[in-house]
Amino acid sequence: MTLLRRNEGFTLIELMIVIAILAIIVSIGYPAYLNHVDNSWRAKATGCLAELAQAMERERTSSMSYPGSLPNRGCRSEIEDEGRYTFERVDAQSDDTSFLIRANAQGRQANDGCGNLSLDHTGDRTTQNGSVSQCW
């Protein structure tokens, strides 16, 4: 009578190979995931800049001048609460015939290759780093 021994479970070598493969997949996937998250927050910031610029233009149509401060919009609070961007009105001139709105990159966004994003009253978009076509 021969006893057949059944193999149950995995050997240590098989387990280590699986862990090594998972480590390689995670080391490639996690930075790509973080890049995707940064890009989505940047897209939210550019959308918020456009929303703020539209609100500024609406104010100009009714009072014939741009408001002295940024309108209070929900997009600002969501993005600022996450610590990704802060929004401010930056004007080289003190008149009410133009405006420049800037989204200041904070935290991880400051190192995403685009930096601060700006939009003015003519619709001109600028970035601190990178190209406008890539960052907007």
Length of the chain: 136
Distance CA 72, CA 97 (A): 20
Looking at the structure of the chain, the number of domains it has is 1
In order along its 136 residues, the chain shows pLDDT tens digits of 566 666 677 889 999 999 999 999 999 999 999 999 999 999 999 999 999 999 989 888 888 888 878 888 778 888 888 889 999 988 756 567 888 999 999 988 988 889 899 999 888 998 988 888 888 8
Task: Note whether residue 5 is domain-resident.
Answer: no
Q: For the whole prediction, is pTM greater than 0.95?
A: no
Q: Is residue 112 part of a domain?
A: yes
* DSSP-assigned beta bridge partners for residue 120: 100
Cβ-based burial of 60 (10 A; exposed 0-12, middle 13-18, buried ≥19): middle
Task: Tell me what pLDDT residue 106 has.
Answer: 92
Domain that holds residue 114: 20-135
For residue 48 the two structure tokens come to 């918020």
Q: 3-class SS at 120? A: strand
Residue 8 lies in a domain: no
